[in-house]
Amino acid sequence: MVTTFCAYPWDLIDDPAAPGRVTAAGADGVVIAAAYHSVRAATPLHPSRAVVDAASAAYYLPLDERVWAGSALRPVTDTPWVGENAFGRSARVARDAGLRVEAWVVLTHSTTVGRRHPRFTVVNALGERYPYALCPSAPEVRDYARRLVEGVVRAFDVDGLMIEACGPLGVAHLGHHEKTQGADWSPVAENLLSVCFCEACQELLAQGGVDVVRLRREVREGLVAEASGHAGATEDHLTDAVGVLAARAEVRRAMVADVREASASVDRVVVHGQPDPWATGPFAAVLDDAASFDGVVVPTANAPRDPSTAAALRTATSGTRLGAYLMALPPATPASVAEEWPQILANVDDAYLYHLGLLSADRLEAVGTAVRRARELRAGTS
């Protein structure tokens, strides 16, 4: 099992004890954010700071003009909260301490880029834009994603890449003083609100034989039915549901091909994914393309808690390495982490532990306990 801590650049910079916390918890590497959305992050164990306010989505590397010349979209590299070239500096700290270094690259989540270029963002059936969500149906967005990856690969000799948001984002957005939880949207409503009607999507859907006007009407009718508490049209009962998923799959395959081309020199490239074919967001519906990657990392909710579930996931991911992205933040508790994680970790090939800098000492200790117990379980069954 390859065990890796998720980290932000500032978790490692100016904290000599950070690499030791990685190894003490049983991990042998870190995956450091290189392209990431805005975040307000606690740093409870850092010796000189308590909170970092990363005010905008950012690229934590200098822009290499060999990569970015002629690009329609460019990320922000001005990061006063951590200084210049923060990925390179933090990666060097980790490498010098003997840790594996992977880069964490978020592809389609950037409010900064979305606000500058609104026509490349997701539009719902009511005509509302999601400025944080870059729509990969636009070739310019896929080109932007490819350049993000290529820039990282050129800048540092990484041991691997972890790709997040390799597909469209939807209505769910964890950030920006989020005030949507009280809407009590069902999974169906969230999926309907995540069907995109941007210019590029409408063109792609029409080319695939989808009646876009009818689709928009049916999505709206489904939302009204959901809001009134009556059983309405589900995403699978849309007349053109198959066409919507086919269009998404076409775009996803194009994005995957671009990402893999840009990362061809990297030995290990894993991607966030989940089984729901309608999934949008950080963990996109990429399982059909799993064979294109060296591993698929599923969220805690989909992580296998028994061998049969693990076997089913391995079948769904074409036998590629299976990883779990495990959140040690609330609502998880130190006790639940120590008790529940070992069985999950015993069933996967890779563990991505969230998150090195955000965790209190008690939570960090619980993660270490879980990793040790998992290794004991694995040794007992080998």
Q: What does the pLDDT look like over 100-115, one tens digit per residue?
A: 999 999 999 999 999 9
Reduced to 3 states (helix: H, G, I; strand: E, B; else coil), residue 329 is coil
Query: Cβ(87)–Cβ(155) under 8 Å?
Result: yes
Average pLDDT over residues 291-313: 95
**Dihedral of the alpha carbons of 197, 203, 204, 209, in degrees to the nearest 10:** 100
Cα separation, 297 vs 304, in Å, equals 11
Query: How far apart, in Å, do the first and last CA atoms of the chain sit?
Result: 12
Q: What percent of the chain has pLDDT over 70?
A: 98
pTM listed for this prediction: 0.96
Span of 81-90, 91-100, 188-197, 218-227 with lowest mean pLDDT: 218-227
Confidence of residue 381 (pLDDT cuts 50, 70, 90): low
Q: What does the pLDDT look like over 14-51, one tens digit per residue?
A: 999 999 999 999 999 999 999 999 999 999 999 999 99
Question: What amino acid is encoded at 217 in this protein?
Answer: R
What is the reported pLDDT for 232?
Answer: 59
Q: What is the mean pLDDT of the chain?
A: 95
Nearest to 338 by CA among 363, 302, 304: 363
What is the reported pLDDT for 38?
Answer: 94
What would the two tokens of residue 248 be?
A: 């998404």
Cα separation, 281 vs 90, in Å, equals 27
Question: What amino acid is encoded at 241 in this protein?
Answer: A
What is the reported pLDDT for 205?
Answer: 98
Cα–Cα separations (whole angstroms), residue 326 to 63, 340, 342: 32, 11, 11
Radius of gyration of the chain (CA): 21
Strand partners, 160: 102
Strands 2-7 and 350-354: parallel
What is the reported pLDDT for 163?
Answer: 98
Cα separation, 175 vs 168, in Å, equals 17
Q: What does the pLDDT look like over 247-284, one tens digit per residue?
A: 999 999 999 999 999 999 999 999 999 999 999 999 99
List of domains in the chain: 2-116+131-175+268-381 (3.20.20)
Q: Which residues contact 73 (CB under 8 A, 6 or more apart)?
A: 113, 116, 117, 120, 134, 140, 141, 143, 144
- Tokens 């002629």: give the residue: 70
